Structure 1
Amino acid sequence: MKPLVILRPEPGAGRTAARAEALGLSPLRVPLFEAEPLPWQAPPAGQFDALLVTSAQTARLANLRAYRALPAYAVGEATADALRQAGFPRVTAGDGDGSAIAARIVGDGHDRVLHLAGESVAPIEGRPLRIMRIPVYRMRPTGAAALEESLPDVAVLLVHSPRAGARLATLVPEAARMGKHIVAISPAALAACGGGWASAVSAERPADDRMLALAARLCEGLSPYGGHATDAR
């Protein structure tokens, strides 16, 4: 059984590890980033029709109390749960990316949207919405020493973002990639990892359960799509 290496930041890494253990896997948490809050000035809630949140880190690190009366839209169920825990009574969760949830906001008849997000965020196709984006946290690189010390020669690596993929590609030289399998949350995250890995695959939709289903097969020495694992280099 190959070990599973989780590279996402906390607290998400802990949630993924718990799901992996429930599947009988042996997860190792090596976060490549740590979230930290940024100073920001909260605009009046009355300027907006809706709140858009694309990461659970926003609900964890920023004071959102002033916006609880707004309908809230979240990318992913984990982000939606974080908003509910922060006291938001009306939360709509999307299972796609930011552009998909933006289309849902348009369909619900909203116009002026406050997007509270990280310092770096994937582009969102939001027309005809008027979106004000304010960064409320940033991801600080970490984990380089831990990765160098603890990364097994043979392992399955979970990559939850293009940012993590790019950092992984920087930290792991091509000569050290041959025994390592990549499971990425999206094609963009997969592309950011570069080449030379034992195998590389992205989930058919950006969800933890889909990533873990693929990873479980690879940990058992099987192809994620049936049969034996193949070299994807």
Structure 2
Amino acid sequence: MRFLVTRPQPDCKRSADKLRAAGHIADEAPLLEFKVMPPEPLDLSGVSALAFSSRRAVSVLRGHPQLADLLGLPVFTVGDATAEACRQVGFQDVRSAGGDFAALGALILREHAGLGPGAVFYPAAQDRAGDLEALLKDGGLACRTRVVYRMEPVEKLPAAVVTALTRAAYDGVLVYSRRTAETLLFLLKSSGLDAVVPGLKVYAISSQAGEPLSDIMRVRVADAPCEAALLDLVLAEC
């Protein structure tokens, strides 16, 4: 079977390779490009914990001159992959919500009281799938957000992908974020391809990620918001 993987590199290749290892054809079409913001001094005064909703934010801080000041703080992450990325950088006290923004907010509000007073420092993307700052504020906890990277949408689909979509060559498209789904929807409509994709399956890592495409494609949602669950779904339907 043939699939289209749309997540940013280098994750796109890693995911595609997993499908290839299972005997399938996987085309890579990263729809968002990773751009690091210029490094600036971090105001860590009054900060008692860190929050990460993305492995990419962790990778940005890996090379930050204030990393040593951060490593002693407890860390809350949205999921297990982000938690593992934190441990690889050198964080010791890492707590994973194993879910989405709501789960991350709930975990922080539940466990932060034991860490003493202070704000949560949140290195994040420019465009985010949820509002962690609002979730924590509603719970009476201050959150200090710092944008450390952005994801820029590509301007067009690769020519080979356009040809494959036109010929109905794909058995499914893998989508890992709402922003990617929104970008794909825009590119399909702007090129007139939205008329040829009805019936094509979208395998989404979450219902939120798949929702933008639900009007023109058949969206299937993973049982859990992680790649392992998404690939399990894809391979189970092959």
TM tier, shorter chain?
0.7 to 0.9
**CA offsets, 1:147-180, max 9 Å, x none?**
x422522321011111111111111232120352
Cα distance between partner residues in 2 of 1:28 and 1:48:
43
Matches of 2:142 and 2:234, distance apart in 1: 39
Corresponding position of 1:180: 200
Task: Give the match's secondary structure for 2:208.
Answer: helix
What residue in structure 2 maps to residue 123 of structure 1?
131
1:123 maps to amino acid: D
Q: 5+ unaligned residues in a row in structure 1: which ranges?
A: 221-233
Structure 2 CA distance, aligned partners of 1:70 and 1:157? 39
**Cα distance in 1 between the residues matched to 2:17 and 2:89:** 22
Farther-moved stretch of structure 1 (57-66 vs 113-122) = 57-66
Q: Alpha-carbon deviation of 1:131?
A: 0.5
Distance in 1 (CA, whole Å) between partners of 2:187 and 2:54 is: 25
From 55, 70, 75, the counterpart of 2:73: 70
Residue 94 of structure 2: aligned partner: 91
Instruction: Identify if the C-alpha distance between structure 1 residues 174 and 106 changes in structure 2 by more than 3 Å, giving closer, same or farther.
Output: same
**TM-score normalised by structure 2 residue count:** 0.83
| Contact 1:55-1:117 at 8 Å conserved across structures | yes
Q: Which residue of 2 aligns with 1:136?
A: 148
C-alpha deviation, 1:18, in angstroms? 3.4
Equivalent residues in 2 for 1:145-160, closer than 5 Å: 145-146=157-158, 148-151=159-162, 152=164, 153-155=168-170, 156-160=172-176
Range moving further from structure 2, 110-119 or 61-70 = 61-70
Task: Give the distance between the partners of 1:21 and 1:112, measured in 2 at CA.
Answer: 44
Higher deviation after alignment, 127-136 or 107-116: 107-116
Q: Which shows bigger deviation, 50-59 or 122-131?
A: 122-131
AA in 1 matched with 2:229: R
Q: Does the 8 A contact of 2:36 with 2:149 survive in 1?
A: yes
Give the equivalent residue in structure 1 for 2:119. 112
1:19 is matched with 18
Tell me, which stretches of 5 or more residues in structure 2 are unaligned? none
Question: Are residues 1:196 and 2:216 paired?
Answer: yes
* Distance change in 2, residues 1:18/1:93 (3 Å): farther
- Please give the root-mean-square deviation of Cα atoms over the aligned residues, in Å: 2.0
Cα 1:180–1:154 shift into 2, 3 Å: farther
Alpha-carbon contact 2:203-2:222 (below 8 Å) kept? yes
- CA distance, structure 2, for counterparts of residue 15 and residue 129 of structure 1: 37
Q: Higher helix share goes to which structure?
A: 2
Residue identity in the other structure for 1:182: V
- The whole-number CA distance in structure 2 between the counterparts of 1:145 and 1:187 is 24
Shift of 1:15: 2.9
Q: List 4+ stretches of structure 1 deviating above 6 A.
A: none
Correspondence for 1:102: 105
Name which of 183, 190, 202 aligns with 1:167.
Answer: 183
Identity of aligned residues (%): 26
How far apart are residue 40 of structure 1 and its match?
Answer: 4.7
Cα 1:165/1:145, change in 2 over 3 Å: closer
Q: Do the aligned partners of 1:73 and 1:91 also contact (CA within 8 Å) in 2?
A: yes
TM-score between the two structures when normalised by the length of structure 1: 0.84
CA distance in 1, matches of 2:226, 2:101: 14
